Amino acid sequence: MIYPTYEQKHVPLTDPAAVREVFREGYENGRAACEYGTAASYIPELAKADAAAFGLYAWKKDGEVIDLGDTTTRFSIQSISKVINLAVALKFIGFRETFSHVLMEPTGDAFNSILKLDLVENRPFNPMINAGAIQVMSLLEPEFSFEELLEFARAICLDDGIELNESVYRSEAETGDRNRAIAWLLKSKEVMKGDPDRITDLYFKMCSLNVSAKSLAGLGLVLACEGTNPFTGKHLIAPGYVRTIKSVMFTCGLYDESGEFGVKVGLPAKSGVGGGIVCAVKGPMGIGTYGPALDAKGNSIGGITALEHIAHRLRLHVFDYT
């Protein structure tokens, strides 16, 4: 492993060969760290993933890419779909209405926790945990079909190849009682309107979209480009909403590991139990990682390790002032 040390001089983004070397080191570190994690098993289909697999894809606005390891394997987006759902809600329902149904506070609890929802506040704490994402989905379900959400996901990830992974969807729907419980709890509190079963079904479908590390880099790149597809110039979501999304990702994107990730990496990111992490970086650049070996909090251990190295060596932390 090549550990970042604080004596090391940082590598300027203007030196492409040195930047590539930093990414390669980050990739090697991430790949080596995978042995300390395990693939998620509470959704049975996810346990089939190769826990040693690791890929890292960086995509810059000028089209330059850094493509290392397993970047073409399709895996389910899982919680990273929460970013897409929030983007749709902000774009079509607006900031005020969306955040009248869900808060914007980190919880410090596990992603599927019900604790604060029942004991502290009736509205879910933020849109990046299951309760918040299911609540956001209740705003979308009457307005959008799955096909329309899929179309938006393809556009914002710069990937027309995204499809529903039927076997993950079935596996998730069969075992998703906790998420249904969250939806019915929200309904019982009259926080959620609509049919909890239809809402959780759409939530499961969005979690089961098949992406790759490259699609996640595409999503990161669009967020880094303030909501515009840099290759076509098409505006997908307004810059003010992107600022909100990145702020919520920064504070809540890695569940109860968001604080530690914020200190050590310092970038807006979102993880999923399928093994993906999306990250939006100055440059502008998007980074997508794939490593299904997860740590105890449900975050990709390889992804976090790689991003920590890269962010440190390239001084990408949002509070690095150089």
Q: Is 179 in the site for ligand GLN (CB under 6 A)?
A: yes
Q: Is 250 in the site for ligand GLN (CB under 6 A)?
A: no
Catalytic status, residue 145: no
Count of residues near ligand GLN by CB under 6 A: 11
Task: Closer to ligand GLN by CB, 254 or 285: give it.
Answer: 254
Q: Is 130 in the site for ligand GLN (CB under 6 A)?
A: yes
Catalytic status, residue 203: yes
Q: What is the 3-state secondary structure (H, E, C) of 46-62?
A: HHHCCCCCCEEEEEECC
Angle, CA 69 vertex, CA 281 and CA 320 arms, to 5°? 20
Catalytic-labelled residue, pool 273, 278, 281, 300: 273
CA distance 187 to 117: 12
Catalytic-labelled residue, pool 203, 211, 265, 270: 203
Q: Is the dihedral of CA 114, 119, 122, 124 positive or negative?
A: negative
Name the minimum Å distance from CB 203 to ligand GLN. 7
Q: Is 78 in the site for ligand GLN (CB under 6 A)?
A: yes
Catalytic-labelled residue, pool 19, 81, 82, 300: 82
Beta strands in 73-119 (DSSP E): 75-76
Q: Which of 322, 290, 315, 282 is nearest to 30 (CA)?
A: 290
Task: Closer to ligand GLN by CB, 284 or 288: give it.
Answer: 288
Q: Is 272 in the site for ligand GLN (CB under 6 A)?
A: yes
H/E element, 250: helix 239-252
Find out whether 98 and 92 touch, Cβ atoms under 8 Å.
no
Could you give the residue numbers annotated as active site? 79, 82, 203, 255, 273
Interface ranges with ligand GLN (CB under 6 A): 78-79, 111-112, 130, 172, 179, 207, 272-273, 298
